[in-house]
Amino acid sequence: MKKILPVFSYLFHPIFIPLFGTIFYVVLDNQYLTMGQYLILFLQIIIITFLLPISFFFLLRTFGKIDTIMLSDIDQRKIPLLLQIMLFTVLITKSITLERFPNLHFFFLGGLISTFVAFLLLYLKIKTSIHMIGISALTLFIIGLGLKNEVNTINIIAFLVLTNGLVASSRLVMNAHNTKELLIGFLCGALPQLSLFYFWL
């Protein structure tokens, strides 16, 4: 089992969470778009939340600022998180706006808040599990979509709750975090999404 658990750290790496959230949004939301609009939506998400962060990662690695995509060192997390804040800000102000994609907008707004909190905690020498931020935020977003659109998402939610446990266990097995850091990460991801329910549910 210890050999299998680390797989979940890679399958549900935070860099994939925006894409997963967008896929669930398209499947569960009642907003109907043309094929071209869906294509543009996914293209924007892939470029801003996947390709650009990967490019920045290799650039930072070339200059010796980080050594692994898991960002195990506190000091190595500051620049990537700051870049993530900038990219999320661009995304919600220029692309996934409140007028065009209201529900998805709040998902990314919650992600921006979570990332900002994780960034601030670094200056208190508190290392937060970014993996738990991502998977807990996704779980709450799916719950919100189910409630908003009156769709039965119980099976998806059950799977994501299980995934939260598997991701947390994988981080422990890999000695990447302790229980406190995992709990803080879970709260940092879940609470902003939960708080924003007031504005879009």
The residue count for the chain: 201
pTM of the model: 0.93
Task: Render each residue's pLDDT in the chain as its tens digit; 201 residues.
Answer: 777 888 898 999 999 999 999 999 999 987 788 888 899 999 999 999 999 999 988 888 887 777 766 666 677 788 889 999 999 999 999 999 999 999 999 999 999 999 999 999 999 999 999 999 999 999 999 999 999 999 999 999 999 999 999 999 999 998 888 999 999 999 999 999 999 999 998
pLDDT given for residue 3 in this prediction: 75
List of E strands, the chain: none
152 φ/ψ angles, rounded to the nearest 5 degrees: -75, 105
Instruction: Decide: 182 and 164 in contact? Cβ < 8 Å.
Output: no
How far apart (Å, rounded) are the C-alpha atoms in residues 85 and 103? 19
Cβ pair 9, 171 in contact under 8 A: yes
Nearest CA to 160 among 3, 4, 21? 21
Tokens of 70: 């898991």
Report the C-alpha gap between 141 and 135 in whole angstroms.
Answer: 10
- Alpha carbons within 13 angstroms on the beta-carbon side of residue 191 total 11
Give the per-residue pLDDT at 187: 97
Conformation bin of residue 71: beta by default, left when phi > 0, alpha when psi is -120 to 50? left
Q: How far apart are CA 21 and CA 70, in angstroms?
A: 21
